[in-house]
Amino acid sequence: MVVDAWGQHPTLRHSQSPIFDSLRRWTKQPAPTEALPVQLTVEQMDAGGVDKMLISAWQAPGRDLISNEEVARFVSEAPDRLVGVGSVDISRPMEAVAEIRRCVRDYRFKAIRVLPWLCETSPVDRRFYPVYVACVEEGLPFCTQIGHTGPLMPSEVGRPVYLDQVALDFPELVIVGGHIGYPWTEEAVAVATKHPNVYIDTSAYTVKRYPPELLRFMRGHGRHKVLFGTNYPMISPAKALAGLDDLGLSADIRELFLGRNAQRIFRLD
């Protein structure tokens, strides 16, 4: 099974948001003017040989770009292919905790994702801590972004080393840092090496752009620690995986990277 650990099925609010103007300059993709059908996402998965994609809500203080309800609806249209990931507003801690429980019990989501840059604060901010407690109690991985931000927002909050303190405070919490951690990939590798429950996903990067320090980690003691991701629709699965054979990964490492690690971490069938 090939699992994309980080994707989105975007709403128009998400796709047309001005915060992504810088990404549109990079990708040379105009913002869509109509809502994308779920079937198009499934077709892109088929084209890249992806069996399941974790699709995420996007919430932050004052911003609701993709709601949990919308993610649940998208998943219901392709339940064998799409897996829900919830999000919450950390500025309302009690509501955030209740929403995490609803994501599990009503929607059967498999993780919670909150982006530090979207909240304009680091993962060690006290407002994140009720989220961590709820994730541990509900058995959900906490997913976040590490590394610089493509949108024109501060990157410092994405330093992977912040997750060191989170993992020290919550050793039971499973943490998945997306987007490789560049330009602090070595820092991300160090944190993932130190803590048994910290992982890295490769979303927002094509195979040809994986940093050498990440590849060394994947081929060695980090073979159980790295997950494939795309950040779809920014990068399609087919484009993200183009050139995978050139990495020279062993069959076992390749299977772990493409799916088995994600199946284990997110408890996928």
Q: Which residues contact 148 (CB under 8 A, 6 or more apart)?
A: 155, 158, 182, 183
Q: What is the pLDDT of residue 160?
A: 98
How high does pLDDT run on average in the chain? Answer: 96
Task: Give, as one character, the DSSP assignment of residue 144.
Answer: E
DSSP for 193-251 reads HH-TTEEEE-TT--GGG--HHHHHHHHTTTTTTEE----BTSS-HHHHHTTGGGG---H
Rounded to a whole number of angstroms, the distance between the first and last alpha carbons of the chain is 10
> Is 133 a residue whose pLDDT tops 80?
yes
% of residues, the chain, pLDDT over 90: 88
Name the domain count of the chain: 1
> Is 32 a residue whose pLDDT tops 90?
no
pLDDT digit string, tens, across residues 183-236: 999 999 999 999 999 999 999 999 999 999 999 999 999 999 999 999 999 999
Taking the C-alpha atoms of residue 225 and residue 55, their distance in angstroms, rounded to an integer, is 20
Task: Give, as one character, the DSSP assignment of residue 180.
Answer: T
> Is 19 a residue whose pLDDT tops 90?
no
For residues 254, 258, 264, 269, the Cα torsion angle rounded to the nearest 10 degrees is -130
Q: What is the pLDDT of residue 100?
A: 98
Question: pTM score, two decimals?
Answer: 0.96
When pLDDT is cut at 50, 70 and 90, the band that residue 170 belongs to is very high
Q: How is residue 48 written in tokens?
A: 């890249």
Task: Give, as one character, the DSSP assignment of residue 36.
Answer: P
Kindly report the CATH number assigned to the domain that includes residue 65. Answer: 3.20.20.140
Q: Please give the residue range of the domain that contains residue 172.
A: 3-266
Q: What average pLDDT does this structure show over 34-44?
A: 96
Q: What average pLDDT does this structure show over 159-186?
A: 98
- Backbone φ and ψ for 245, nearest 5 degrees, come out as -60, -25
> Is 241 a residue whose pLDDT tops 90?
yes
> Is 28 a residue whose pLDDT tops 80?
no
Q: What is the pLDDT of residue 67?
A: 97
Taking the C-alpha atoms of residue 98 and residue 265, their distance in angstroms, rounded to an integer, is 23
pLDDT digit string, tens, across residues 144-161: 999 999 888 899 999 999
Specify whether the CB–CB gap between 191 and 179 falls below 8 A.
Answer: no
Scored b (16 or more CB within 10 A) or e, 94-114 reads eebbebbebbbeebebbbbbb
